[in-house]
Amino acid sequence: MTRILALGDVVGPLGTDFVCKNLLTLKAQTKADLVIVNGENCTRAYNLDTQSASALFAAGADVITGGNHTMQYDQVHGMLRTNDCLLRPHNYPVAAPGKGWCIVPLNNGKRVLVINLSGQAMIEPSADNPYSCCQKILYDRKGEYDYAVCDFHAESTGEKIAFFRYFDGQIAVMFGTHTHVQTADERLLYKGSACITDLGMCGAHDSVIGSDVTAAVTRYRTATRVLNADRTEPSGDMQLCGALFEISDETGYCTAVTRICYKKG
């Protein structure tokens, strides 16, 4: 059995710190062979920097996936170019730093192809067609991996589910990120894959998708932004949201997917 633990968007320095302090415990509890963390919102500005990425790797993340905020801070561009396990959506322009796939050898002898893609509906920046991009990766890397995993970073739930259904049987593990709200639709699909529309986020539960409640309500109620308040991090009941996927090493099919919402204590 191969177990893959995937955690949703890590939000802010407090969320990053909470993941770093608790990831090894969660990894041990789930007996995960591979840990994938979406790290695109780690900083106070809700993007990624090298310090946050390095901290997540040191804490036990094997792969860090990204999304539409990953490359907003150019300090991380060099790390995207040199660290194969720090990903951004592969269907972004070719000129963008880094890439969106890597192959990770596991201690059990299996090789896992991890793919990071962006949706196209209601999300910036614009991305190329994720279907053709994904099919090219699968074709080009054929024979180099045993299982494929995909983080599909997208706004539209329908776009995510359609993608999952199309790649059922080709990608063993598929999950959505970006919306920060964990969905209750984890499922085993008909051809051996498993999916969940959104993993949720790692950060403060008492928040508006990781943002300060008062600042978020003011923004939506009055159509104004108070920048300092927007960057006030909510604290309190921190949580790690994600899912655990179990793959049969005999059949290559995903046999179980379990939602996770970990709170210390």
10 and 38 Cβ atoms separated by less than 8 Å:
yes
Query: Residues 69, 90, 153, 178: which is the catalytic one?
Result: 69
Reply yes or no on whether 77 is catalytic: no
Residue 12 is predicted with a pLDDT of 93
Model pLDDT for residues 176-211, shown as the tens digit of each residue = 999 999 999 999 999 999 999 999 999 998 888 888
Model pLDDT for residues 9-48, shown as the tens digit of each residue = 999 999 999 999 999 999 999 999 999 999 999 998 889 9
73 beta partners = none
Residue 252 is predicted with a pLDDT of 95
Domains of the chain plus CATH, in order, are 2-264 (3.60.21.10)
- CA-CA distances (angstroms) from residue 155 to 59, 122, 133, 158? 28, 6, 18, 9
Residue 219 is predicted with a pLDDT of 85
Lowest-confidence segment of 174-188, 217-231, 243-257 by average pLDDT: 217-231
Model pLDDT for residues 109-167, shown as the tens digit of each residue = 999 999 999 999 989 888 999 999 999 999 999 999 999 999 999 999 999 999 999 99
